[in-house]
Structure 1
Amino acid sequence: MSELTTIPAKCAGCGAKLQTERQQDRGYVPAGALNREPVICQRCFRIKNYNEASSVTLDQNEFLKLLNQVGETKSLVVHIVDIFDFEGSLIGGLSRFVGGNPIILVVNKLDLLPKLVNPNKIVNWVQAQAKELGLRAVDVVVCSAKKNTGFERVIESLERHRDGRDIYVVGATNVGKSTLINRLIRDYSDLDNELTVSQYPGTTLDLVNIPLDDGSSIIDTPGIVYEHRISELAAKKDLQTLLPQGEMKPTVFQLNEQQTVFWDAYARFDFVRGERQSFTFFNSNAISLHRTKLERADSLYEEHKGELLSPPSKEDLDKLPKWTKHAIRIPRGSAKDVFISGLGWVKVNSSSGAELIIHAPKGVKVSIRNSLI
């Protein structure tokens, strides 16, 4: 029997078609590794054992072809979003792809929010935001797959709405999709394999079909790469700093108008006009916040970007799009968040109103929303 016919069809970690000839292409597995059980590609092996990413990515058109298949099935769709980057990780127009299939919205990474936050209030907030953004879901569940918090409610929702259907799991990159599916495997199946879990985007490269004990399947789909998220544009080595690794510790600034706060060299917050008031910053604890006067902000940035204001480094900063300005007006007597996709948000609880300017890499989503917390 030739070597080619002994290669399993797909990698047990990411679902890519396995091959032994082209080391730089996806699905490559050294011939000497074919006797391992399960067989995983070299990329998954390096991620699982060395936390090392590779440059292999899934073409966006290929992803859309895969996602279009969901609408041709009779399935339950589980859409996983990241509470840290809710608007940035939500799949726009999902209903166009899934047809009449019901959608459960699973909001992951609850462990990143301060412990005193009421999960029921988060659910109510998510329901309101999802409705406003045009996503119709039969249920909303908040959880932390990493910490196993609220996971029993995910299982209960699946049991209530599945009705024997296959389960398609969809989501943007880096929302914790594979972590959650590994939890489902342990609850629903005797399968020994676990999907590759990594902090790097684009880990799952093809459809991964996980058989369940009742004859149906969990189908994992590749994550969508949304370049409106700073986390997709940043250098891979900076992701541990940029993305929260645990509970966020909010930082409160009492600012006068004409003051500025930098998120290292990733973005800038200008309080242009308004009465003295507090602003609460929610971001990774590893990101440093730097306050200065607005009149000094430009010179401070030019003198210290990539050094005091770092990450990113000067070299990595040159690879990011140039900053663009977003003028934002917070109405008097409102509680709003100013949200920067992939970086975090600022809570503005203003009795008198505020005029702001946000500087962020061009193309990154910057928006205003009702306060999450």
Structure 2
Amino acid sequence: MDIREQLREQCSGCGVKLQHTDPQELGYLPRQAAEKGTAICQRCYRIKHYNEASDAVLNENDFLRILNEIGTTNSLVVNIIDIFDFEGSLIQGLPRFVGQNPVILAINKLDLLPKVTNVNKVINWVQHQAKQYGIRPVDVVILSAKKNLGFDYLIEAIQDHRQGRDVYVVGATNVGKSSVINRLIRDYSDLDEELTISQYPGTTLDVVKIPLERNASIIDTPGIVYHHRLTEMVHKRDLQSLLPQKPIKPAVYQLNEGQTLFFGSFARVDFVQGERQSFTIYHSNAIPIHRTKREKADELYAEHRGKMLAPPNEEGLAQLPDFSKHTLKIARGEKMDISISGLGWIKVNSDQGAIMEVQVPKGVKVSVRPSII
């Protein structure tokens, strides 16, 4: 079976095998729709046209199987990473999965960073951070799928490093992978049907092959679900508040020792010890920040969680685990960020040092890193 025959049997949105018998199973396509030439399943049609939520996701073993298969091929790997959640969306152990295949890091969502951001400094920062995880990319490209920025550089990088090979595109959920794939389809392929784009995880459920030329394809893989990201824990309707839709407007707070910031009811950050200093917050501006004294924070949270401290509301809170506490020490002389996966980051502006406590739903990844901006 050639690749085009295979594509006719697969949903071009999510990659699952099409079937016409059971509306409750994945890949269902009504026969009358198939006869009209429709190439996407009913689930993808509803996501694409009505932005309906989908509860279908692959389990971790399926992701590992697909990733491990890449290492047995001779391919170019394009890893899409969300600049808004670098640590949370980075594929842990990527070198082990891809073997000797070259890797391009495509850092998406440039449009969310403040307009004054120095892109070259961000690229240098990405290269440094990737090295800490054992990743040595052949190229790093900063782009915005939403604003159509940086794609010329990505296309050029793929052309330079592909050398006639397949191109595997990998990434976590909600990093904009399908948007990047669709741009590659427009530039590289004569395929008519684009992939399904949705804010919900689990949109792509199996590998989708898009023919490039004889014996070569772009291969889209399912988004990897990392449960340490807040975006994977929240109620579906709270996703929009967490995922910024426009450039972030950093908020600067001058804090005294013993003050607390609440990010809705998603997170609590305490300035436990240190000289008065400023902190710059990079997060979705749809989530309000409330400042209070640390001694009053427990009472405030107990009384106003899900109400004044929202989102999420009480229904959304019921879906989240209880808070877990992380104590972080920022040493003197260091310019560091406190990253909360799926929520954003806090830049510690002073080099005077600080002790911070971060409380987030249990399981959410909290880390300290050199400042990105």
Q: Does structure 1 residue 344 correspond to structure 2 residue 344? A: yes
**Contact 1:323/1:360 (8 A) holds in 2:** yes
1:291 is aligned to 291
Q: What is the Cα deviation at residue 77 of structure 1?
A: 0.5
2:3 is aligned to none
Return the alpha-carbon distance in structure 1 between the equivalents of residues 24 and 367 of structure 2: 39
Q: What is the Cα deviation at residue 83 of structure 1?
A: 0.1
Task: State the Cα deviation string for residues 7-41 of structure 1 (Å, max 9, x = none).
Answer: 94110111111122332222122233212334211
Query: What code does the residue aligned with 2:75 have?
Result: S
Task: State the Cα deviation string for residues 334-365 of structure 1 (Å, max 9, x = none).
Answer: 11000000000000022321110000111110
Q: What is the Cα deviation at residue 214 of structure 1?
A: 5.2
Return the alpha-carbon distance in structure 2 between the equivalents of residues 9 and 64 of structure 1: 24
Return the alpha-carbon distance in structure 2 between the equivalents of residues 268 and 27 of structure 1: 42
| Helix, strand or coil at the partner of 1:350 | coil
**Contact 2:54/2:202 (8 A) holds in 1:** no
Return the alpha-carbon distance in structure 1 between the equivalents of residues 330 and 9 of structure 2: 55
Cα gap change, 1:347 to 1:36, in 2 (>3 Å): farther
Q: What is the Cα deviation at residue 67 of structure 1?
A: 1.7
Return the alpha-carbon distance in structure 2 between the equivalents of residues 165 and 253 of structure 1: 50
**Contact 2:39/2:193 (8 A) holds in 1:** no
Task: State the Cα deviation string for residues 234-291 of structure 1 (Å, max 9, x = none).
Answer: 1111111111111000000011110000010000010011111100000011011111
2:28 is aligned to 28
Query: What code does the residue aligned with 1:70 have?
Result: I
**Contact 2:169/2:219 (8 A) holds in 1:** yes
Query: What code does the residue aligned with 1:78 have?
Result: V
- Compare 327-336 and 32-41 and name the one that shifted more: 32-41
**Contact 1:90/1:172 (8 A) holds in 2:** yes
Return the alpha-carbon distance in structure 2 between the equivalents of residues 211 and 262 of structure 1: 49
2:273 is aligned to 273
Return the alpha-carbon distance in structure 2 between the equivalents of residues 275 and 365 of structure 1: 27
2:262 is aligned to 262
Q: Does structure 1 residue 310 correspond to structure 2 residue 310? A: yes
Return the alpha-carbon distance in structure 1 between the equivalents of residues 232 and 36 of structure 2: 33
Return the alpha-carbon distance in structure 2 between the equivalents of residues 345 and 90 of structure 1: 16
Q: Does structure 1 residue 135 correspond to structure 2 residue 135? A: yes
**Contact 1:10/1:16 (8 A) holds in 2:** yes
1:211 is aligned to 211
**Contact 1:190/1:213 (8 A) holds in 2:** no
| Helix, strand or coil at the partner of 1:34 | helix
Q: Does structure 1 residue 241 correspond to structure 2 residue 272? A: no
2:201 is aligned to 201
* Identical-pair percentage: 62
Query: What pairs with 1:48-87 in structure 2 (closer than 5 Å)?
Result: 48-87=48-87
Return the alpha-carbon distance in structure 2 between the equivalents of residues 22 and 323 of structure 1: 41
| Helix, strand or coil at the partner of 1:212 | strand
**Contact 1:208/1:220 (8 A) holds in 2:** yes
Query: What code does the residue aligned with 1:350 have?
Result: S
Query: What pairs with 1:85-234 in structure 2 (closer than 5 Å)?
Result: 85-213=85-213, 215-234=215-234
1:4 is aligned to none
2:4 is aligned to none
**Contact 1:330/1:350 (8 A) holds in 2:** no
| Helix, strand or coil at the partner of 1:17 | coil
Return the alpha-carbon distance in structure 2 between the equivalents of residues 64 and 19 of structure 1: 26
Return the alpha-carbon distance in structure 2 between the equivalents of residues 352 and 110 of structure 1: 30
Q: What is the Cα deviation at residue 121 of structure 1?
A: 0.6
| Helix, strand or coil at the partner of 1:271 | strand
**Contact 1:75/1:166 (8 A) holds in 2:** yes
Instruction: List, as ranges, runs of 4+ consecutive aligned residues in structure 1 with deviation greater than 6 Å.
Output: none
Return the alpha-carbon distance in structure 1 between the equivalents of residues 178 and 132 of structure 2: 28
Q: Does structure 1 residue 363 correspond to structure 2 residue 356? A: no
Task: State the Cα deviation string for residues 61-109 of structure 1 (Å, max 9, x = none).
Answer: 1221122211111100001100000000000111111111111111010
Aligned Cα root-mean-square deviation (Å): 1.4
Return the alpha-carbon distance in structure 1 between the equivalents of residues 259 and 324 of structure 2: 18
| Helix, strand or coil at the partner of 1:338 | strand
Return the alpha-carbon distance in structure 2 between the equivalents of residues 189 and 316 of structure 1: 42
Return the alpha-carbon distance in structure 2 between the equivalents of residues 123 and 214 of structure 1: 34
Return the alpha-carbon distance in structure 2 between the equivalents of residues 338 and 264 of structure 1: 18
**Contact 2:305/2:314 (8 A) holds in 1:** yes
| Helix, strand or coil at the partner of 2:349 | strand
- Gaps in structure 1 of 5+ consecutive residues: 1-6
**Contact 2:238/2:316 (8 A) holds in 1:** no
